[in-house]
Structure 1
């Protein structure tokens, strides 16, 4: 049996859910329009110049929308009571499979031979909430941004990369196929990789293996996005990325009454696109959300992908994607979520691994909502997760490598000219003064800004970490590139983060 695309086991249940959502939509739309009456800093600047009476028009529009919203509530309440029990029958994700035009056959994967293979990962918080909520982060035009982000990622995914994408194995239980046929990496692995990432090799271009880049790295194998809460935005991303990424998980999360986690009216916001066939999926909802986060089904999405085969053994990879609790003052909530995440990730691997499987990589990524420089995040900085997974940007608690910059923007500044285009943002963030002005600064334990902090290059909330599985024929992993990406200037309040890993047999690593 393949992985079905609908989160419902029958068309009838899916149709009932669609009908309930349609009945709820008028109230949802009206409330969204009311919240969207607030203006972003860009809109204020624009409308004050073009329409001096804009404030009066906003009040008049609100006076029209509010009665309509109130009138829609009784009907929506009935629809909600019909929608709620349906969620108990819903699988916590939807799946899109786009058949490839030229599927690969059952060829062996040369990961265990020669120079090994390179895998590329992208992670980013794109703030694709309903527009009224996105404006609390100074971002509007959610549908336009979703289309634009999808187009940017699709163009990058078809670009050239000097180390080619890896081949995947043959037919699997989902009827999906792998990526394009394997080609060897043209760049020999070198022991200078770790030296350069530690800041000792500080050359330019290909010689420097960390970068602030105005373009997404080309041909990423996996894309993990956070805050894709809006379902229309999610559908737009699926349309854009489907032709390049045959396997997409979206609308991830539990709705309705999610056990100890309580009532959830938003999904997790997680969105994962893969070039490689998905073998197994598991999602867990964090049970300890508080405040505004309690209504979103934030959790951990764990995925097993098939990368190929070798002499009858499956070569697989694991991705664990998450978005953790946001309010700065709730450090213990995040620590508990990391503890649960580690346990769930291991349980998933124990359950989905078959005898003889070769594990090429094990990734833990997403928006963890704490940094490695703030005094207020000391509890999270010492969590056991950093003894299990390797963070390529980190030296230890409260100490990042010297080239690391923050990934959270100062949200009220995102439309300012120095950061208004990918190129200008890249130039700005390469300068210490630019980072201090346009990146969010460190925080105290209660969430207030820390004016006394020094030596912090902004809050790095977005992570891609990895760990090796020594039992998998003694494969070894080396970091080839770490990327801080400015391509989404004015489209998000986060910088996407990229990681390129080279996986090869230990014998080859020793020879290099």
Structure 2
């Protein structure tokens, strides 16, 4: 492999970096525990049933504060060692695990091939910070997330892209032109609601609300894997299924205008196909609490097969944009910068004769297509360069599209407590109104004017794609777009999935 696994060029630098982290850990742990005293809605309910619980903060709070103060001298020494090491550290770690089962090598000219992508914000922050999203228990959640990402890889199936079987959106009250055939009905527990309808614009589309992750996902792109321990554990859990993993992505320490990055970018990418090149870049514009994390763009080139002796490659770009609602211009600037970096990465790594199979841009964009407050981002140039399968235009989504951001204060309620219950809830408009975050104004306040309109909720998680402008040998078709409820209780986001069908263009097919 071209990529070495360690982010450091030698063991000495790696050891010094680890030593700095060990010296910093007591202060980090004490600060995290202090923040962890904040209660989630579940813990608040438990406290009402236990008289001893209110004493927890009164007893442990001062002790943790004392430990934080006492650990400061060691933390200062660790910081003086840790900061210089950032100049020698490559901004990501890479794991290559040799598997017995490899994806089939794609040869062109020949038949078409399907590639499956998943993107999800998993909110794996240190426990104290995760509490601000009403989530805690990071160690337990990362284990559940890893298990759920891999448990259904061989059990689910997808309909043929030409079968005209698509999700019928109940929120618009659409009706079938003819009764469904018996063989088109779904009987599997937790499977998607699929009804056969005429494939006409506005009535149906390649969308579904599903419980399991798609089978044989080729590429997993995650956001908010901020905690290094969580990232390493997730890498361990996914490595039996994904041969190539890029994790711990981000530039720590002093970056830009004397901003100290204490958290990485939170980006994480797992691939079944060989990674030829990877690059991370940190967004220069940020503000507020987001300035403490190294949000940026991770670009990866993968090899999919061969065509006439030349490489078939694909490009994935994963990002997490600025969060504060009022900073629309920062998000737009980051997207503009991301587009430039993505193109620069491709121009640098594409060889003469390469066939580019796909070019995907995904992640948590932190804006939606329904809020009046996100008007600036909704008209960004990215939607002219890349296609959003869920979008018709600014402020107009496909009838089957739903929001991906949950109402974080209600994520532990019974109606959304399991993947199956969350799926059933989101299939009903009243459930979406109750448990999905609603449209916002420019300052982040709820937009009351949207109360009477059909309720999609805030769709802030995207998987965009484009046919590469230099490639005329392949055609691209969206086979399926999924809103996946499998992470219920583990995150305040709904995961999204995309399946792209790539077929040789007619001039290639004639050569077979």
TM-score, with length taken from structure 1: 0.90
Distance in 2 between the 1:19 and 1:192 partners?
58
Distance in 2 between the 1:490 and 1:156 partners?
18
Match of 1:90 in 2: 89
Distance in 1 between the 2:258 and 2:209 partners?
38
**What's the offset of the Cα at 1:196?**
8.6
Conserved 8 A contact 2:2-2:276: no
Distance in 1 between the 2:123 and 2:254 partners?
24
1:122 to 118, 121, 127: 118
Distance in 1 between the 2:320 and 2:230 partners?
18
Residue 157, structure 1, aligned to residue 149, structure 2: no
SS of the aligned residue for 2:151 comes to helix
Pair 1:508–1:137, CA change in 2 (3 A): farther
**Which ranges of structure 2 fall in alignment gaps of 5 or more residues?**
181-192, 197-204
2:162 to 153, 169, 190: 190
1:205 to 194, 202, 219: 194
Give 1:284-303 correspondences, 5 Å limit. Answer: 284-303=281-300
Distance in 2 between the 1:92 and 1:306 partners?
22
Match of 2:139 in 1: 143
Distance in 1 between the 2:2 and 2:444 partners?
46
**What's the offset of the Cα at 1:156?**
2.5
Distance in 2 between the 1:346 and 1:258 partners?
23
Match of 1:8 in 2: 8
Conserved 8 A contact 1:159-1:219: no
Pair 1:84–1:418, CA change in 2 (3 A): same
Distance in 1 between the 2:137 and 2:116 partners?
30
**What's the offset of the Cα at 1:474?**
2.7
Pair 1:300–1:434, CA change in 2 (3 A): same
SS of the aligned residue for 1:156 comes to coil
Residue 245, structure 1, aligned to residue 230, structure 2: no
Match of 1:43 in 2: 43
**What's the offset of the Cα at 1:53?**
2.5
Distance in 2 between the 1:196 and 1:341 partners?
35
Distance in 1 between the 2:130 and 2:457 partners?
22
1:258 to 255, 260, 267: 255
**What's the offset of the Cα at 1:288?**
0.6
Pair 1:309–1:12, CA change in 2 (3 A): same
**What's the offset of the Cα at 1:201?**
10
Distance in 2 between the 1:446 and 1:366 partners?
23
**Which ranges of structure 1 fall in alignment gaps of 5 or more residues?**
164-186
Residue 304, structure 1, aligned to residue 290, structure 2: no
TM-score, with length taken from structure 2: 0.90
Match of 1:319 in 2: 316
Conserved 8 A contact 1:193-1:480: no
**What's the offset of the Cα at 1:191?**
8.8
Pair 1:353–1:240, CA change in 2 (3 A): same
Conserved 8 A contact 1:20-1:80: yes
Give 1:83-482 correspondences, 5 Å limit. Answer: 83-102=82-101, 109-110=106-107, 112-114=109-111, 116-159=112-155, 161=157, 187=160, 189-190=161-162, 192=164, 204-205=193-194, 209-260=206-257, 262-453=259-450, 454-482=453-481
Distance in 2 between the 1:194 and 1:423 partners?
19
What's the C-alpha RMSD, in Å, of the aligned pairs? 2.3
Distance in 1 between the 2:378 and 2:343 partners?
21
Pair 1:195–1:240, CA change in 2 (3 A): closer
**What's the offset of the Cα at 1:110?**
3.4
Superposed CA deviations along residues 446-469 of structure 1, whole A, max 9, x for unmatched, are 111111113341000000000002
